[in-house]
Structure 1
Amino acid sequence: MTTVTTTSTVPDDAGSGFRRRLLDALATCIARDGYRATTVADIVRGARTSRRTFYEHFSDKEACYVALLSDANSEMIRQISSAVNPDAGWQTQIRQAVSAWIAAAESAPALTVSWIRDLPSLGSAARELQREMTDAFVTMIQRLCDTEELRAAGVGPLPRPLAILLIGGLRELLASTVEDGGDIGEVHDLAVQASIALLEPRSTAAR
């Protein structure tokens, strides 16, 4: 996988600041023009820095993109995980998780679509990131479903294929909504209802 590197001549705090500016500039470019139309020159101009600084941090545009998506998805997982109250009822926990997922996607709709549409067609580093982040989301969902409340209701522990089905369904729903000119928030209730139905207790005794 392509890695993000900094040179030893750049102090840690300064390097981190430039890296953040470059990632933010790429996110802005994606929202405005899309990933494919964005160039390194666009990113550098948006970050108000130089090509030399860009290449001190990233080997190319794809490496910058991989770093941006990695950071964004890690933050999304953090937000979803922190939004769930493990002591609430099982349906409430699912609602909290899906609501946080949608809120995170709604805050950056263009990046949400790019993650789903652009990433799969890129190189090996992007494909590796896609696998890693899918695994991270699966782990998150399985962890969230492995609470005392959800186990008692018959929801957890959750099989990996079911977690993947949930991830794929939500991602496609969000991407197609944005591409059709809709508002991600408009599908909130549908996403919650579908997720509850998919994760409905599998044990008859637990109903």
Structure 2
Amino acid sequence: MTTTDLAAGFRRRLLDGLAAAIRHGGYAETTVADIVREAHTSRRTFYAHFADRQECLMALLHESNQKTIARIDRAVDPHVPWETQVHQAIEAWIAAVQADPPITLAWIREVPALGTSARRLQRETMDAFVVLIRRLTDTPELRAAGVLPPTQQTAIVLLGGLRELIATTVEDNADIDGLTQAAVHATKLLLGPRS
């Protein structure tokens, strides 16, 4: 095993350790000691990879959001009716949330208070989701149905509403699956055919 492989393995363990600590008690209560305990490694190893726990969190959330974007992208069949595509996208997003609700909640609730670097990641991620929505709605099939790519502002309204719906549902320990119908309905209203 190379030094690069070893470093990647330690980094992975630290990210997984942070995720486990968040699942146990939330990000606000998580310490570097919690992360290294979960990762079965040392503080020295932690600081060889991350300046602090916030940098570790940013890496974890960047990775998580990239996986969610890829999951949604893979789930949508551009050759089915636009209503089905909306349903596929929402189901993929909800499945990503269900895979790890505490990490989703950390992303939505914790990041806004973490300063400039966190805000930059938040904006970059929102931009990536906007690009995804605009690309998924920019197909011949959707244009033929009267569906056009939304403006950036409309996409942000949609994303912000869905994020808040997800966050409140997770906080209330309510059924995340129960969001599908409302989320699909709202998305259809915002993105549907324009007269």
Q: TM-score range by the shorter chain?
A: over 0.9
Q: Does the 8 Å CA contact 1:81/1:140 hold for their aligned counterparts?
A: yes
Mean Cα displacement is larger for which, 182-191 or 37-46? 182-191
Aligned residue type for 1:126:
A
CA contact (8 A) 1:146 1:158 kept: no
| More deviation, 186-195/134-143 | 186-195
Q: Which of the two has greater helix per residue?
A: 2
User: 1:148-182, CA deviations, whole angstroms, 9 ceiling, x for partnerless residues?
Assistant: 11111121222111111110011000000011121
Unmatched 5+ stretches in structure 2: none
| AA matched with 1:60 | D
Residue 109 of structure 2 corresponds to 117
Of the candidates 145, 152, 172, which is equivalent to residue 137 of structure 2? 145
Q: In the alignment, is the contact (CA less than 8 A) between 2:19 and 2:103 conserved in 1?
A: yes
TM superposition shift of 1:103? 0.5
1:185 corresponding residue in structure 2 = 177
Which of 149, 154, 172 matches 2:146?
Answer: 154
Quote the Cα distance in structure 1 between the aligned partners of 2:166 and 2:70: 19
What do you get for the CA RMSD once the two structures are aligned? 1.0
Report runs of 4+ in structure 1 exceeding 2 Å deviation.
none
Q: Give the secondary-structure state (helix, strand or coil) at the position aligned to 1:118.
A: helix
CA distance in 2, matches of 1:38, 1:103: 25
**Inter-partner Cα distance in structure 1 for 2:114 and 2:156:** 21
1:131 to 123, 131, 135: 123
Q: Distance in 1 between matches of 2:4 and 2:143?
A: 45
TM-score by length of 1: 0.91
In structure 2, the residue matched to 1:83 is: 75
* Distance in structure 2 (CA, Å) of the matches to 1:173 and 1:17: 35
1:200 aligns with 2:192: yes
Q: In the alignment, which residue of structure 2 is the partner of 1:20?
A: 12
Which digits, 9 at most, give the CA deviation of each residue in 1:20-79, with x for residues without a partner? 111111111111100010000000000000111101110100000000000000010000
Instruction: State the percentage of identical aligned residues.
Output: 56
1:101 to 2:101 alignment? no
Q: Which runs of 5+ in 1 are unaligned?
A: 1-9
> What amino acid sits opposite 2:10 in the alignment?
F
